[in-house]
Structure 1
């Protein structure tokens, strides 16, 4: 492997993980902006803007964008989160120049009024669609309740009201501030031509103007909260709990991954044996989410309404037992191996490495080689997990329930 980095005079950073043995190249434009960077009147603009990037530029129509991706045989997509918006594609190495040209062109969109009006309807339909997905609803309620006013609790989609009121000029102003080169990282993985990529990106993007894209980074004030949102139309109860965890910049994040795997990493986890295997809950899992300056554990479960109280009690007691008594060496070892295996398998293609490499640089200003990450995961000891549990994070658990709660015991 070889690691490359170059910064243009306007602040646009280009990084790469070169693999001579790869058969493809993956390229992504990582923009450090998401729902946490929005004000209430702009709620949902980051995700809406992601859609607009595919609507064409001064050089291409929306149809021509799609046709160009198809002509290269590209695997491509984009996503928006609370903190980042990423546009990416993977192609054979001979199409590197065309993919860079297309992605760079997309990131300077026309934002035409008629496209804005049309896509607004699509976004409103998407919001309505997700309202009919109870797992999504309870997750959004849990994020909002846990963060209680902190920008990390902002909705990525926004609301029907905020999107309806949003104007094209507001989006353009947000675009100019947040899609500035000093707020972006271009990432390449696989078999790429570094010198050609740098020269092309400098020619294509070197004239982009810098912008004020600062972000206030603070930790949310975690509190032990409980919120029950009744919806008699549902036939199951959906639970989501949130607790504080290490940030994306904290070395304890490796121990946090292991802890989440032991407690809720599917079959074989403690929550599985406590809730799913005996048939008390339909599902139960736990994950760790690293964020800029903060982090969180997310626990979710679904169950029959009549077993809601039983499931909540078992969920809380499982977390409390782990917090008070710690983990066994055998549990830690199994979780380490499982996480390391999944990481290595995902990294077998340039596309599988792209987001990891990009976020390494976005969050920590350094690309961590795969072997180093694997070594750090495999080095997590029982004492490391115990140290993570010592501040008793699950005492600050926020628990949210959604569904036919009137039927709950």
Structure 2
């Protein structure tokens, strides 16, 4: 296993974790841009542009793109988040050149007017579907309340108004600024020929131009709001909760991961034993999310409306107990073991290592082998989690209830 990186004259970065013993390879272009980088008039443009990338350019149409990936037997997709946009594929090693060339084509779409109007309707329908399915857009609303004016409050999808009013010229300008080669990382993992990968990147990006992206980072001021979103047609009540956590690269990020497992892992956690195992709730969990300059623990509870008040009291009590009393060594040990197994098993495939390699480079411009990640988790103790709780108190939270209840008894308001 060897990590190698290079920077092309135009600023495009190429990074790879090369494993000649692997029987597959994964490649992806990752752009340091997302919802947080959008102005008000651009809301949703990153995700919209991701859709447009698959429309092709010149004689290359969307059907051609699909057929070429199919001919390789590739597993391919794309995503847009708050801070990055990625286009990726996993293939057999002999298709490295074909995969990289086709992925590179996606980053320079023609943005044809007819494609733009067609995809606008697709995005508007996606927004409608998002708001019609649980938790009915409450996660976006809660994040906006939690982060306030901070750009992490932005919705990845944008709004009906922003998408309806967006012009093709706005997207062209955004693409020119944000998809500059110096703002892009080509990452790879598995059985990769790195020398050839650099040559392929140089050839594919030879004519790429664009301004260096302006990056603004700022620590947020979290707000402790309580929201009630009345949805009479909902069958269940959904309670969402956000509390502060470390940003990417922070020394307590592993503690946040372990704490989330102690409190809200899908099996064997405090919330599981208190709410899920006894049949009080359909689900209850906690997850850790990290960004450039902030992070949060996201907790959720789903239950019958008539049980929501009592269940939320239990939910709140669990967090209050952790904050005031900390966690036990046996809980930490169990959570660590589960996480170590999941990380080791999940990261054995190049298609999964690709995202870890890319994320570490995008956020910190550093490489962390699997062994380093496992060491970070192994080093977490109950005392480490105590440090986390001091710096990032669970009590500093925002919450939302969405469902058929018009009123909600916020015990901790």
- Alignment TM class, shorter chain as reference: over 0.9
Q: Name the SS of the counterpart of 1:406 in structure 2.
A: coil
What SS class does the counterpart of residue 393 from structure 1 fall into? coil
Measured after TM superposition, the shift of residue 407 of structure 1 is 7.1
Aligned alpha-carbon RMSD (Å): 1.3
> Do the aligned residues in 2 keep the contact of 1:323 with 1:392 (CA within 8 Å)?
no
Q: Corresponding residue for 2:125?
A: 125
Whole-Å separation in 1 of the counterparts to 2:43 and 2:87: 20
For structure 2, which runs of at least 5 residues remain unmatched after alignment? none
Q: Shift in Å at residue 59 of structure 1?
A: 4.7
Partner of 1:147: 147
Matched with 2:19 is 19
Q: Within 5 Å, which residues of 2 pair with 1:77-88? A: 77-88=77-88
Equivalent in the alignment of 1:10 = 10
SS in 1 for 2:137: helix
TM superposition shift of 1:408 = 5.6
Residue 304 of structure 2 corresponds to which residue in structure 1? 304
Contact 1:247 1:294 in 2 (8 A): yes
1:87-122 deviation per Cα after TM superposition (whole angstroms, max 9, x unaligned): 000111111000111011111110000000111111
The worse-fitting range, judged by mean Cα deviation, of 270-279 and 165-174 is 270-279
TM-score in terms of structure 1 length: 0.98
Alpha-carbon contact 2:148-2:223 (below 8 Å) kept: no
Structure 1, 381-390 or 219-228: larger mean CA deviation? 219-228
CA contact (8 A) 2:246 2:392 kept: no
* Cα distance in 2, alignment partners of residues 392 and 124 from structure 1: 37
The alignment status of 1:236 with 2:236, answered yes or no, reads yes
After superposition, the C-alpha distances for 1:302-332 in whole angstroms (9 at most, x for unaligned) are 1122222222222111111001111111110
- Measure the CA separation in 2 of the matches of 1:392 and 1:151: 20
Normalised TM-score (structure 2): 0.97
Q: Whole-Å Cα distance in 2 between the matches of residues 99 and 202 of structure 1?
A: 15
> Residues 116-140 of structure 1, C-alpha deviation per residue, up to 9 Å, x if partnerless?
0111111111111111112252212
**Residue number in structure 2 paired with 1:368:** 368
Aligned residue for 1:271?
271
Give SS of 1:396's match.
coil
Secondary structure (helix, strand or coil) at the match of 1:60 reads coil
Structure 1: distance between partners of 2:120 and 2:220: 31
Residue 185 of structure 2 corresponds to 185
Verify the 8 A CA contact 1:9 1:206 in the aligned structure 2: no
- Count the aligned residue pairs: 409
Contact 1:8 1:206 survives alignment (8 Å): no
Deviations along 1:194-236, whole A, 9 cap, x unmatched? 1111012112213312414122111221132211111111121
Partner of 2:342: 342
**337-346 or 300-309: bigger deviation:** 300-309
Does the CA contact (< 8 Å) of 2:228 and 2:407 recur in 1?
A: no
| Correspondence for 1:198 | 198
In the alignment, the residues of structure 2 paired with residue 23 and residue 105 of structure 1 have an alpha-carbon distance, to the nearest angstrom, of 25
Distance in 1, matches of 2:378 and 2:206, equals 42
Q: Please tell me whether the aligned partners of residues 401 and 408 of structure 2 are also in contact (alpha carbons under 8 angstroms).
A: no
Question: Gaps (5+ residues) in structure 1?
Answer: none
CA deviation vs aligned residue, 1:121-177 (integer Å, no higher than 9, x gap): 111111111111122522122211111221101110111111010111100000000
Q: Return the alpha-carbon distance in structure 2 between the equivalents of residues 61 and 363 of structure 1.
A: 33
Q: How does 1:239-254 map to 2 (within 5 A)?
A: 239-254=239-254
Aligned to 1:73: 73
Following the alignment from structure 1 to structure 2, what is the Cα–Cα distance between the partners of residues 57 and 249? Answer: 38
